Amino acid sequence: MVSVGILLFPEFQMLNLSTTTVFEFANLEMPQPFYRVDLVSEKGGLVKSSMGFAIDTVPFGLRPYDTLLVAGDNDVLEASPGMLAYLQQAMLKSRRVTSACTGSFHLAAAGLLEGRKATTHWYHARAFRQAYPNVRLEEDRIFTVDGPLWTSAGMTACLDLALALVENDLGVEVAREVARKLVIYHRRAGGQSQFSALLEIDPKSDRVQTALAYARQHLQEELSVEQLAEVAHLSPRQFSRLFRSETGQTPAKAIERLRIEAARLMLESGDHAIDIIARETGFGDPERMRRAFLRAFGQPPQMMRRALQLQA
């Protein structure tokens, strides 16, 4: 059985406890429970959360953990000397040491992230860079993996991190089934931007949200207004008018942003040829994708790829 310790401290962010449900549902997929999850703290007992109520914990020195997950908080609180010493010991005893949200500040304070890549909540990225200049902060990532150290971005990104841990242990099918039962998308790739195009488009009604979700899952298709209107159960004229009133842009422009986001992710996370990326994301041909990248980023995909290679 894989032991998971979730390290809490006063004023920890409550959303981080949602990771326990990912491990719970992974257990339900197996013939026998695969994970044992403990909530741990420096002294054990009740630990006050960011919402004001307390959660019961056990002292963190009782047993070692295969996987340790450090919670984050809302205000980047300073870790105690005892907590930093425990993290340094955990690095020697645990297979994986992970953090959610601003928990990466505690890993960095313990010296675990020196020279390594990490991420954190975008809101605190500048403060992280100033405090820990030797950490290779990738502030536009959902989560990062650098050997035994895993870090996630803020808030719901902890779910992506937990699903990635399950996938690492039990395979992609188990992780996908857990995501389905939690009624969330199968985990976002670690390299995906924290700033989703869907969040920026910000549709209000269920009909427009449904059409955009369908579009993101079918980017290889033509995705005409008529096709999206049918998904939204509206006439093309009604759909176009509703879409523009909710998002301030045309359906065609929004679909292009979704395609650019998908193409950029493929560009950053693999060695796919440009023409394959263009085909897989629905641009059809490299020239059409090049023009879209110039509008969005001011540079073509090839130049972005070279910059990424030089950075690596």
> For the chain, what is the radius of gyration of the CA atoms?
21
The rounded Cα 230 to chain-centroid distance in angstroms is: 31
Average pLDDT of adjacent 10-residue blocks, the chain of 312 residues: 97 96 98 97 97 96 94 96 97 97 98 96 92 91 92 92 95 91 68 58 83 89 94 94 92 93 81 89 93 88 78 54
pLDDT of residue 266: 85
pLDDT of residue 305: 83
Phi-psi region of 155 (alpha: psi -120 to 50; beta: other; left: phi over 0): left
- Helix, strand or coil, per DSSP, at residue 305: helix
CA-to-CA distance for 46 and 53, rounded, in angstroms?
9
Contacts with 97 (C-beta within 8 Å, 6 or more apart), sequence order? 67, 68, 70, 87, 90, 91, 107, 112, 148, 149, 150
Report how far apart, in Å, the C-alpha atoms of 252 and of each of 198, 213, 288, 291 are. 14, 14, 14, 15
- Take residue 250 and report the two structure tokens written for it: 């045309």
Q: Please give the positions annotated as active site.
A: 101
Q: Single out the residue of 93, 136, 129, 83 nearest to residue 113, CA to CA.
A: 136
pLDDT of residue 113: 98
Complete DSSP assignment for 121-142: -GGGHHHHHHH-TTSEE-TT-S
At 91, phi and psi to the nearest 5?
-60, -30
pLDDT of residue 199: 63
pLDDT of residue 267: 84
pLDDT of residue 304: 81
CATH class of 2-181: alpha beta
Are 119 and 143 within 8 A, CB to CB?
yes
Are 77 and 97 within 8 A, CB to CB?
no
Q: 22-44 burial, b if ≥16 CB within 10 A, otherwise e?
A: bbebbbeeeeeebbebbbbbbee
CATH number, domain 196-312: 1.10.10.60
pLDDT of residue 298: 83
Q: Do domains 2-181 and 196-312 have the same CATH topology?
A: no
Listed by start position, the domains of the chain span 2-181, 196-312
Report how far apart, in Å, the C-alpha atoms of 164 and of each of 23, 151, 167 are. 11, 11, 5
What's the pTM?
0.68
pLDDT of residue 205: 84
- Which single residue is written with the structure tokens 């675990």? 112
CA-to-CA distance for 123 and 126, rounded, in angstroms?
8
